[in-house]
A and B are shown apart, each in its own frame.
Chain A
Amino acid sequence: GENVEQHPSTLSVQEGDSAVIKCTYSDSASNYFPWYKQELGKGPQLIIDIRSNVGEKKDQRIAVTLNKTAKHFSLHITETQPEDSAVYFCAATFSNEKLTFGTGTRLTIIP
């Protein structure tokens, strides 16, 4: 079935350090992998996405890597800041437009 696993569920890092969140997906036909940031009481906000024909994408302090063979993708946040504290969700589309979300990672940046 369509499934996305996400680890870790919680992550605390010192301000300025890097944070890495990993996801695996079940269907090799998946071709689109977005990452969303959700702050308390708000909707998911798209922060970066990657398509299956690309192995890595970077946008300032945020990067995503994709390993299609292993069916996993990761979010990397460098030089973390207090405003990076939030819940982060990975997601994948399978054979249709719907997004299947991971279980989320609560990231806490320690000042």
Chain B
Amino acid sequence: EPEVTQTPSHQVTQMGQEVILRCVPISNHLYFYWYRQILGQKVEFLVSFYNNEISEKSEIFDDQFSVERPDGSNFTLKIRSTKLEDSAMYFCASSGRQGKKETQYFGPGTRLLVL
């Protein structure tokens, strides 16, 4: 069974530093997403990406955030200058195989801690 993978599993950084979270979506999927989950809360949408551009983004996804698909397999989320409130689990998801665009499969997440 193909899976979404994410690296690193944990990331600790100082406030103001840049972080890059990496994801390898399921092969042949066409739609890619980032979500985040603050400890004990629900999963929140950040951004969706299709055909090498952002298709939708939430209010959370401000100018400090960016996404990129640098090659045919990786999908990255960059936070330019981290804030304390960016501490959360970040999940990558992908969808869009065999016509089932809506069915999103999630990776195991990256736990980001900003000190």
Contacts and interface: CB of A to CB of B under 8 A. Distances in A.
Interface of A: 32, 34, 36, 42-46, 49, 51, 89, 91, 93, 96-104
Nearest to B89: A43
A51 B4 CA distance: 23
Contact of A36 (B50, B95, B106, B107): B106
A22 B7 CA distance: 34
A101 B42 contact: yes
A104 B44 CA distance: 12
Interface of B: 4, 31, 33, 35, 41-45, 48, 50, 55-56, 58, 91, 95, 101-109
A103 B109 contact: no
Contacts of B107: 43
A36 B43 CA distance: 11
Which of A42, A43, A46, A49 has the most chain B CB within a 10 Å cutoff? A43
Given A45-B106, A46-B103, 7 more contacts: A34-B102, A36-B106, A43-B108, A89-B42, A98-B33, A99-B35, A101-B42
A44 B108 CA distance: 8
